[in-house]
Amino acid sequence: MDENYPDFPEYGRQVELTTPWRGYRRGTITEKTAKGFIVHLSSGAEIEVYADEIEID
């Protein structure tokens, strides 16, 4: 597996948070976790969210 392209289809997809986090609504999926996903926001923050807390574009 190429480490630049993790083996899950959601990697790199743009998402919208159903509840904004500190004013941020949009981000990019960077990791998959046991609970859901890690989302990278434009502020540089990375947050962990459940799958039902985001809408994937």
Check residue 1 and give its pLDDT: 47
In the prediction, which pLDDT does 7 show? 80
The pLDDT score that the predictor gives to residue 48 is 97
Instruction: Tell me what pLDDT residue 3 has.
Output: 63
Q: Which amino acid is at 12?
A: G
Q: What is the mean pLDDT of each run of 10 residues along the chain (57 residues)?
A: 72 96 97 96 96 95
Beta strands in the chain (DSSP E): 14-21, 24-32, 36-41, 46-50, 54-56
Pairing of strands 36-41, 46-50: antiparallel
